[in-house]
Amino acid sequence: MPLKQRLLTPGPTPVPEETLLELAKPVFFHRTAEFRQLLGEVLRDLQTIFCTKNQIIPLTSSGTGALEAALVNSVPAGKKVICLIAGRFGERWKNIAKAYGIEAVVVSVPYGQAVQPEQLQKALADHPDALAVCATLSETSTGIGHDIAAFGRLAAATPAILIVDAVSGLGALECRTDDWHIDICCTGSQKALMLPPGLAFLSVSAKAWQAIERHPAPPSFYFDLKKARKSLENNDTPYTPAHTLIRGLRVSLKKILAEGIENVWKRQAKYAQAARAGFQALGLELFPAQPNNALTVVKAPPGIDSTVVLTRLEQQYGLKLANGQDTLKGKIIRLAHMGYIDQFDILAAIAGVELVLHAMGHPVEVGKGVAAAQRVFATS
Amino acid sequence: MPLKQRLLTPGPTPVPEETLLELAKPVFFHRTAEFRQLLGEVLRDLQTIFCTKNQIIPLTSSGTGALEAALVNSVPAGKKVICLIAGRFGERWKNIAKAYGIEAVVVSVPYGQAVQPEQLQKALADHPDALAVCATLSETSTGIGHDIAAFGRLAAATPAILIVDAVSGLGALECRTDDWHIDICCTGSQKALMLPPGLAFLSVSAKAWQAIERHPAPPSFYFDLKKARKSLENNDTPYTPAHTLIRGLRVSLKKILAEGIENVWKRQAKYAQAARAGFQALGLELFPAQPNNALTVVKAPPGIDSTVVLTRLEQQYGLKLANGQDTLKGKIIRLAHMGYIDQFDILAAIAGVELVLHAMGHPVEVGKGVAAAQRVFATS
């Protein structure tokens, strides 16, 4: 039998069968009352998942398109933003700012660490002219999570808006857009929202709209948020959206809403707890100092190249986990457990790692990691 | 029986069943040798369809994203472009230029007319400092087609690059990117390429790359073409692409290649000839003075609101044709026949229009339009 495939990477993530079938339905015209009704429904459902009353804007792009839209619509060239950087995705904020001539004040920590609220507090005090703070909810490159609630309290006391890259994590991790004072919250379709890539979404607060309206001339056409807002008055988009993906998203969102977003967060917390316990029982060390619940990242054992482990997992067992990127390649293993994943998928991943390490001659007791994870699931 | 639906709008267009099923397959990881092989294959197939040896760059966006990428990567703010405008999509070139502080020299004609090569010749003579000419292959809003080959000969003799919006039309209409000196040719996935919306593509000539390299600092991050080119050295993309759509596109492109792109153009020409004959036999007048073969646009008969006709076609017969936009709403009927459409779909559309006009008391001889169209198909 060909190997059964299990996708356990931090994006794209598996998509529910019902959603996949929805994507196979005949294509339809999008300038209709039916589609406007559909788009309106999906955006309302997303508000529940974002925990916001703010307007949500859909974009046909990768998640990066939403990050770019957030920054360039609200911060003019020559102005200053504070970029909180704990990994590759935090770096993206700095790179977008640079591309648009926005001055980036960098607050960074070594990979594996999380930026602490005190660091932001100092940066805000040193740079009272900063127009925005750019943060990352789940830094997928290292597995750390940030205390966005604390960042939000700090930014809310200043004129700066808080922009959060929640591409990886929103829908899996606690993210209370309104309560946490997130002014622009960005996400993508291919992570916890259980859809293929191609759509991005962002929520915009009143404070952020004020910043956007103050911007004299945003260098933006395709990502013009004011134009998007105007179209949304009729549940429409300025340009042809990836409308079949929006139809599919409706199906995936209903699953999240049926469970309840807070229940999803709790389930994800349990998954993370189980995955950490499983790996640690095998003697593997967690990489992030402040891990988040969307994925579990562990260091490869000393003397073992994680690339070899990951290749074997894929080729022998159909288990697709992710490697580290850039300087972390070969050094870590990233197991994502957000989206359409259940507890047995996590057991499968840990079982696979046990088998591969054992076959490579690394001293692991086969079954020990799985048992440790299962014990977590056995507790209510 | 619920009505059988026929989508005959100029985008989105119907998608072949095999492609739809491909879109329902499980999601996979994209940073793999398999996906790089797939992306390379799709881009090579697109070169055949674009009739180019130039690099083709994929974008996860609407077609408008490709237009924006083309213009902002090659023309700095404060510099000049010539925009050839014959309708709503031509207007978009001017609007993108405006959003980025690029000076747009407008060469326009009334809706329903096509910009003539002499007009471009004069504009190029008057504006030798223009860095680009922006044109539209098929102006879908009116149904006209432009003589891109003539535009290309004129632009090629100057330092200006020729940028063509071929979103609606490429893959249905003759479009010889290299022979016609199109420096940047833009298209989208949801028209003649027979895929849902979500992907855009552009080809870039050596002359265009020189313009892009001369640009001191393109205001672009997500749409940065130099970065995209660098990633494509490994058949990769800078950000997560809509990879399931790319997998689906492979299936649709193979259909085009199996028929042969020149044969598709010929078939489309026949479709257009039949549609025109059919409508004219009913006494309907063509709207465009210089029609293209991707869609047929006719005026509503005097005293008849096309919105009423189109609503009846949809509600009574499941035939979804398109209305005019903005000032043309209620005045024209647009029947698209590009992509996954066959001759009987065209007969169905004409038969539906006959039935609706007849029921509305308009003097038409039922069957006359269909017979006229059929006679075109009966000739080889």
CB neighbourhood size of A355 (10 A): 17
Query: For residue A161, is it left (φ>0), alpha (ψ between -120 and 50) or beta?
Result: beta
Query: For residue B144, is it left (φ>0), alpha (ψ between -120 and 50) or beta?
Result: beta
**Residue range A275-294: mean pLDDT, rounded:** 98
DSSP letter string over B125-140?
HH-TTEEEEEEESEET
**Residue range A31-56: mean pLDDT, rounded:** 97
CB contact under 8 A, B64 and A222: yes
Q: How many CB pairs under 8 A join A and B?
A: 171
Fold of B6-12+260-378: Aspartate Aminotransferase, domain 1 (3.90.1150)
Scan for tokens 């014990």, then name that residue. Answer: A375
Report the candidate in B152, B178, B187, B148 with the shortest Cα–Cα distance to residue B59: B187
Structure tokens at A300: 């490869």
> Does the pLDDT at position A380 exceed 90?
no
Kindly report the backbone phi and psi dihedral angles of residue B231, in degrees, each rounded to the nearest multiple of 5, phi listed first: -60, -35
Give Cβ neighbours of residue A233 (< 8 Å, ≥ 6 apart).
none
Find out whether A133 and A151 touch, Cβ atoms under 8 Å: yes
Mutate to test the interface with B, among A29, A236, A320, A326 (most CBs of B within 10 A): A29
**Which residue ranges make up each domain of chain B?**
6-12+260-378, 17-258
| Region A6-12+261-378: CATH code | 3.90.1150.10
CB nearest B198 (choices: A60, A63, A96): A60
Environment class of B149 (CB within 10 Å of its CB; exposed 0-12, middle 13-18, buried 19+): middle
| Region B17-258: CATH code | 3.40.640.10
> Does the pLDDT at position A218 exceed 90?
no
Report the candidate in B70, B85, B71, B74 with the shortest Cα–Cα distance to residue B120: B85
> Does the pLDDT at position A224 exceed 80?
yes
Percentage, residues of chain A above pLDDT 90? 98
Give Cβ neighbours of residue B51 (< 8 Å, ≥ 6 apart).
B175, B176, B177, B178, B179, B261
Structure tokens at A265: 């967060």
Report the candidate in A250, A294, A289, A255 with the shortest Cα–Cα distance to residue A272: A294
Whether residue B76 is preceded by a cis peptide bond, meaning omega within 30 degrees of 0, is: no
Contacts of B96 in chain A (CB under 8 A): 221
CB contact under 8 A, B24 and A23: yes
Structure tokens at B179: 């022979």
> Does the pLDDT at position A304 exceed 90?
yes
Residue A14's pLDDT band, with cuts at 50, 70 and 90, is very high
CB nearest B245 (choices: A27, A198, A243): A198
CB neighbourhood size of A361 (10 A): 8
HEC string of B34-89 equals HHHHHHHHHHHHHHHHHCCCCEEEEEECCHHHHHHHHHHHHCCCCCEEEEEECCHH
Scan for tokens 């079938």, then name that residue. Answer: A21
Structure tokens at A181: 């004072």
Chain A touched by B340 (CB under 8 Å) = no
3-class DSSP state for residue B111? strand
Whether residue A12 is preceded by a cis peptide bond, meaning omega within 30 degrees of 0, is: yes
- The whole-angstrom separation of Cα A201 and Cα A184 is 10
Average pLDDT taken over every residue of chain A: 97
The pLDDT tens digits along chain B (380 residues) read 899 999 999 989 999 999 999 999 999 999 999 999 999 999 999 999 999 999 999 999 999 999 999 999 999 999 999 999 999 999 999 999 999 999 999 999 999 999 999 999 999 999 999 999 999 999 999 999 999 999 999 999 999 999 999 999 999 999 999 999 999 999 999 999 999 999 999 999 999 999 999 998 888 999 999 999 999 999 999 999 999 999 999 999 999 999 999 999 999 999 999 999 999 999 999 999 999 999 999 999 999 999 999 999 999 999 999 999 999 999 999 999 999 999 999 999 999 999 999 999 999 999 999 999 999 999 97
- The whole-angstrom separation of Cα B333 and Cα A20 is 34
Give Cβ neighbours of residue B63 (< 8 Å, ≥ 6 apart).
A239, A240, B165, B167, B168, B186, B187, B188, B190, B200
CB contact under 8 A, A244 and B23: yes
| pLDDT tens-digit readout, A69-106 | 999 999 999 999 999 999 999 999 999 999 999 999 99
CB contact under 8 A, B28 and A15: no
Q: What is the torsional sign of CA A347, A352, A353, A359?
A: positive
CB nearest B27 (choices: A15, A28, A60): A15
Asked casually if ipTM beats, i.e. exceeds, 0.85, the reply is yes
Identify the closest residue of chain A to B11 by CA–CA distance. A29
Return the H-helix or E-strand segment holding B186. Answer: strand B184-188
Return the H-helix or E-strand segment holding B315. Answer: helix B306-317
Give Cβ neighbours of residue B294 (< 8 Å, ≥ 6 apart).
B10, B138, B140, B145, B168, B169, B172, B173, B191, B192, B268, B272, B336, B337, B338
Residue A219's pLDDT band, with cuts at 50, 70 and 90, is confident
Find out whether A307 and A329 touch, Cβ atoms under 8 Å: yes
- Whole-model pTM: value is 0.96
CB contact under 8 A, A196 and B27: yes
